[in-house]
Structure 1
Amino acid sequence: MNSEWRDMEVDGAADRYMPIRIYDSATRAKAPPLVLYFSGGAFLDRDRNGESPIARSFANSGAVVVEADYAKPSENVFPKALEFAFSALRCLSGKRKQFGSQRSLLLVAGEEAGGNLAAGVALKARDQMPGEIDGQILLSPLIDPLMATASFREADGAGMRERWTEGWNHYLGSGGGYCHPYAAPGHCSRLSGVAPALILTSADDPLRDEAADYAARLSAAGVAVKSRVLPACRGWPQIYGADRTEGCAPPDELRREFEDFIGELQNRTS
């Protein structure tokens, strides 16, 4: 099923409307998981064009996915981007019946910069909407502005160091968010009580070390975490462009990991 951008009213944001795209499929269950998804773009991209293959993959697994365009209304700066993202979550939480069912699991998910937003939203939900979200899915999350991990040394080879540096400077520039846990979840010191997490990277992903460190600290804080480094050259992640993923196998692992994670959450809440 094709999806198109449309405006959704979100309470609590400076501009009361933000663009969303809804992904659905004929395979959805009676109480499908509801996933709020944030795409990547290094906090620099503001134009959303074609469908997200990640969001479509989740929908093909039976979920209803709402992709929220936080970038366009927020100009990709903190705290405005986080406020829009959280407002979208609050809106979906109150409209579970409209998008799925009152029994639908509610999750936040994101890739790269969108993974930062998803992690920040999960932390803020822990503080302001305790118990409202059931899980978070972080895909190669961009969560450490220090960019000093061992794997990050590969960012030059991936052609991403300059872009990520520019993106962090843009996102944190005037918002005073460098040390704010919602802006830089990788430096958050209070992680207990956040929603269970699925954290995925790949063996050739420069962000894999910061993702692994975040997964380990979540687990140490008592959070249920499933973390995996997918094999290199599987068309994942998408953020490095077609020249890096040409000839790679489809990321079927991503779909299987999503379905397994949903199953675990359903067992936990049943």
Structure 2
Amino acid sequence: MGEYVLDSTMKTILKKRHKLSIGDITEATPEAIDAYNRSEFKQSIFKQLYRPKTENILSRTFIIPVTEGAITGYLFEKVKDKSIAGQNSLIIFFHDGGWILGNMRKCAAVCSNICNTTGATVLAVDYRLAPQFKFPTPLEDCYSAFLWAAQGARYWKVDPDKIYVMGNCVGGNLAASVCRLARDRKGPKIAGQILLSPVTDGRMRTASHEEFSDCPTLSSKSMKFFIQSYSREPKDILDPLFSPLLAKDHSRLPSALILCGEYDPLRDDSNLYADALASADTPAKCLMVKGMFHSFIDFPKLEGWKDSMYAVSTFIGGRAVSGIEILTKDERKRLERRPQLVVQ
């Protein structure tokens, strides 16, 4: 059982988040899961929690062809001053939800905030979900979306040399595995991977899984259910595309910025994966954000969200991952004066 020292903002967010949650996911019916994924949520609480940025953000919807079907992509682009030259970076974002939950209204809020803060164009991928579509179908959907986006980079006026993949929790897992597929299949170049508390080892054997087994935003019980729902059979968990940490080859992968919370059951997954990449000469760094739970990256009111977005902005701005740190408040105040970095 973990010991959690929380500030008042975090406590308030956890209470409000509970009102929008599906409850115990292990007891949810398929109908309840489908209803959650389609839910519009209670407007007042939703806006207080996710603070979706819509002003000066253009959004478009696209149909993306995938194997035996099609998925939807949602593109978010910040309205630029015509006097500002140059092409945007593109972040391809894979959402969280244990491979079985995927409310795109929530994902749109997260992605519009990322777009607004970093200035990058963001493509949110509505990949097909387990248990109907098990491993590796969601991953192949994400890779197909990456190929589709890379081919359309000129159309969206984004720099084809500045395409990043990003994801939270299982989305981080998918982003890490997309990088491996791109390397092994000789796909388009990925400029960097931004992994937010990624699942990197489906065996769940780390100390942080045990210490924070009762984490209110990701319990061990829920994580086991997610893994069982995603895998076709137990041996899938040992596949490097399911558990990237277990891969034998961590070389020749894109630079990785990994972020995790202090009270996060996936904290060790994050740190161990950064170490594995670095040991194979893949530039990688894991930054732990103090006082934060798993999925803190969803909530712009948190100081940890601001810290993380500055790190992400710096990374896609071209700084080597080795030079990126969590900022002090004074450092952040100085950066807030820069027009390309907007904290809500």
TM superposition score category, shorter chain reference: 0.7 to 0.9
SS in 1 for 2:206: coil
Q: Residue 79 of structure 1 contacts residue 177 of structure 1 at CA under 8 Å; is this kept in 2?
A: no
Q: Counterpart of 2:28?
A: none
Matching of residues 178-257 of structure 1 within 5 Å? 178-233=237-292, 237-238=296-297, 248-249=302-303, 251-257=305-311
Cα distance change, pair 72–144 in 1 and its aligned pair in 2 (3 A): closer
Structure 1 stretches lacking a partner, 5+ long: 240-244
RMSD of the TM alignment (CA)?
2.8
Cα distance change, pair 230–131 in 1 and its aligned pair in 2 (3 A): same
| From 130, 141, 150, the counterpart of 1:93 | 150
Q: Residue 46 of structure 1 contacts residue 75 of structure 1 at CA under 8 Å; is this kept in 2?
A: no
Matching of residues 52-91 of structure 1 within 5 Å? 52-60=108-116, 61-72=118-129, 75-91=132-148
Q: Counterpart of 2:30?
A: none
Q: Does 1:127 align with 2:180?
A: no
TM-score of the pair, normalised by structure 1: 0.86
Q: Residue 58 of structure 1 contacts residue 258 of structure 1 at CA under 8 Å; is this kept in 2?
A: no
Q: Does 1:169 align with 2:228?
A: yes
Higher Cα Rg: structure 1 or 2?
Answer: 2
Q: Does 1:149 align with 2:202?
A: no
Q: Does 1:6 align with 2:88?
A: no
Q: CA deviation at 1:235?
A: 8.9
Paired letter, 2:181? K
Q: Counterpart of 2:74?
A: 21
TM-score of the pair, normalised by structure 2: 0.68
1:37 and 1:122 mapped to 2: Cα distance?
Answer: 13
Q: CA deviation at 1:237?
A: 2.2
SS in 1 for 2:257: strand
Q: Residue 234 of structure 1 contacts residue 248 of structure 1 at CA under 8 Å; is this kept in 2?
A: no
Matching of residues 106-125 of structure 1 within 5 Å? 106-125=163-182
Paired letter, 1:6? T
Q: Residue 199 of structure 1 contacts residue 226 of structure 1 at CA under 8 Å; is this kept in 2?
A: yes
Q: CA deviation at 1:48?
A: 2.4
Q: Point out the more displaced range, 38-47 or 228-237.
A: 228-237
2:254 and 2:199 mapped to 1: Cα distance?
Answer: 18
Cα distance change, pair 234–147 in 1 and its aligned pair in 2 (3 A): closer
Paired letter, 1:70? Y
Paired letter, 1:249? E
2:174 and 2:271 mapped to 1: Cα distance?
Answer: 17
| From 185, 193, 215, the counterpart of 1:136 | 193
Q: Deviation digits for residues 170-219 of structure 1, max 9, x if unmatched?
A: 11134952221111112111110011111000111111111100000100
Q: Does 1:43 align with 2:99?
A: yes
Q: CA deviation at 1:6?
A: 3.1
Paired letter, 1:128? R
Q: Deviation digits for residues 233-262 of structure 1, max 9, x if unmatched?
A: 4895257xxxxx798436111111011111
1:189 and 1:176 mapped to 2: Cα distance?
Answer: 16
Q: Point out the more displaced range, 221-230 or 93-102.
A: 93-102
Structure 2 stretches lacking a partner, 5+ long: 1-53, 322-344
Q: CA deviation at 1:5?
A: 7.2
1:247 and 1:85 mapped to 2: Cα distance?
Answer: 29
Q: Percent identity?
A: 24
